[in-house]
Amino acid sequence: MLEMRRLQALHAVVTTGSVKEAAALLGFTPSAISQHVTTLEAETKTILLEPAGRGVRPTAAGRMLAGHAADLLDRMFETERALMALNAGELGVLRLATFATAGGELIPPALAEVRRAMPKLEIDLRVADREDAMSLLRGGQVDAAVIEAHGDRITGDSLVTFPLLIDPFRVVVPRDHHLAGRRVIPLESAANESWISIRCEIGCCRIATSEAFRQAGYAPLRTVEADEYWPAQGFVAAGLGLALIPSLALGVQHPGVAIRRIKQADQPVRQVLAVTRTAVASTLPVRTMISALRTQADIHQLPGIGKRVHSPNSD
Domain residue ranges in the chain: 4-87, 103-164+272-299, 166-269
Is the sign of the CA dihedral 114, 116, 121, 125 positive or negative? Answer: positive
Task: Give the orientation angle of helix 284-299 with respect to helix 107-117, to 10 degrees.
Answer: 140
CB 275 within 8 A of CB 159: yes
Q: How far is residue 38's CA from residue 11's CA, in Å, rounded to a whole number? A: 13
Domain 103-164+272-299 in this protein, CATH class: alpha beta
CATH of 4-87, one of 2.120.10.80, 1.10.10.10, 3.40.50.1370, 3.50.50.60: 1.10.10.10
Give residue-wise pLDDT tens across range 248-299: 889 889 999 999 999 888 889 888 999 999 999 988 899 999 999 999 998 8
Q: Say which residues have a Cβ less than 8 Å from residue 198's Cβ, sequence separation at least 6.
A: 225, 226, 227, 228, 229, 232, 243, 245
* CATH, domain range 166-269: 3.40.190.290
- In CATH terms, are 4-87 and 103-164+272-299 the same topology? no
* pLDDT exceeds 50 at position 309: no
The least confident of 82-86, 172-176, 219-223, 252-256 is: 82-86
CA angle, 296 then 266 then 127, to 5°: 40
Which pLDDT value is given to residue 308? Answer: 38
| Single pTM value for the model | 0.70
Instruction: Report the phi/psi class of residue 232: left, alpha or beta, with left for phi > 0 and alpha for psi in -120 to 50.
Output: alpha
Confidence of residue 313 (pLDDT cuts 50, 70, 90): very low
CB 283 within 8 A of CB 83: no
Which pLDDT value is given to residue 152? Answer: 67
